[in-house]
Amino acid sequence: MKPEPDPHSHHHHHHHTHTLTSLNRAFLWGISLNAGFVLVEFAVGLWYGSMGLLSDAGHNLSDVASLLLAMLAFRLAQAHATPRYTYGYKKSTVLISLLNSVILLIAVGVIVAESVGRMLHPESVVGGAIAWTAGIGVLVNGFTAWLFLKDKERDLNVKGAYLHMAADALVSVGVLVSGVVISWTGWTLIDPIVGLAVAGVIVASVWSLTRDSLRLSLDGVPAGIDIPELTRQMTAVPGVQAVHHIHVWALSTTENALTAHIVLADFSEQERIKHDLKTLLQVSGIPHATLEFETESEHCADFCD
């Protein structure tokens, strides 16, 4: 008799497919809107000589590149494994996340250099044009951040896209304020000051992304996983005497893996213990686990690290 399909499995697959489609649409919208806004902002910034607009446009251009790279990582993560790449291209998501953070840090350097130069050699700018252009930026960046809001905790690249767009919305608010101040007071020095503020916001928003992506690229333990606590929980499973040679690393920005040696009191309980351990690890955010079982009398120190 043909087994009945699992309705829960079907629901999970449908939800996963819907999420992928939604994220793909979010990336396409975000890239299109921000690319169009960058062209407008560069044009207005060059026409009126606004460092605040040009620096923000440069940052937005780096965000378009970041969104393109994040979408590439998102699609590569769906690729199937091959005999040569047995985990597929999942690790590319970590490398792209690291590359995105480097792009942002380079943008910070350019913005700081240009802003300091403008402070030393101030030029007049038109505050009204700055305010109107930045106002459009608030809408574009705010809407793009909203597109990634509900999925930002699912993936480091999606979280990075959300943080960048949310920070850009705040930066555009700052540029808007500088435009209003210039219109009312004529104090053009506020423009490069806003440029430096942009750099500060970028550094603050990208710091955690850089730290996490660098750690994952070095196969460090992913954030949120405590090895001593995880070992304690695994050892507490009935039938487990000890756990050692435990390694946890990220396969991608969304999937973690583990290998460990499990000392058993009774090998007849192996299947039940394996099921219990893998269920525990799944709940702990580790869906890929390779477990090696051994007795207390075995000595694996010469073959393991």
Equal CATH topology for 7-217 and 227-294: no
How does DSSP assign 251-263, residue by residue? SSSS-EEEEEEEE
C-alpha torsion sign, points 295, 296, 302, 305: positive
Contacts within 8 Å (CB) and 24+ apart, 260-263: 260/234, 260/289, 260/290, 260/291, 260/292, 261/291, 261/292, 261/293, 261/294, 261/300, 261/304, 262/234, 262/291, 262/292, 262/293, 262/294, 263/293, 263/294, 263/295, 263/296, 263/298
Q: Which residues pair with 290 in a beta bridge?
A: 259
Q: Note the maximum CA span of the chain.
A: 83
Q: Given this model, what pLDDT does residue 201 score?
A: 77
Do 189 and 118 touch, CB atoms closer than 8 A? no
Residues 6 or more apart whose CB falls under 8 angstroms from that of 251 comprise: 87, 90, 91, 257, 288
pLDDT of residue 169: 80
Query: How far apart are the C-alpha atoms of 305 and 297, rounded to whole Å?
Result: 18
Residues 117 and 65: their CA atoms lie apart, in Å, by: 26
**Residues of the chain under the 70 pLDDT cut:** 1-21, 51-53, 56, 59, 123-127, 153, 299-305
Give the pLDDT confidence score for residue 278 in this predicted structure. Answer: 95
The span from the first CA to the last CA of the chain, in angstroms, equals 48
Residue 250 three-state SS: strand
pLDDT at position 173: 80
Q: Which residues pair with 257 in a beta bridge?
A: 249, 288
User: Domain 7-217 falls in which CATH fold?
Assistant: Alpha-lytic protease prodomain-like (1.20.1510)
DSSP E strands in the chain: the ranges are 240-250, 256-264, 288-294
CATH architecture under which domain 227-294 falls: 2-Layer Sandwich (3.30)
Could you give the CA distance from residue 292 to residue 234 in angstroms, rounded to a whole number? Answer: 13
- Domain regions of the chain by residue span: 7-217, 227-294
d(CA 140, CA 129): 17
156-185 and 7-48 are packed helices; what angle lies between their axes, rounded to 10 degrees? 30
Residue type for position 104: L
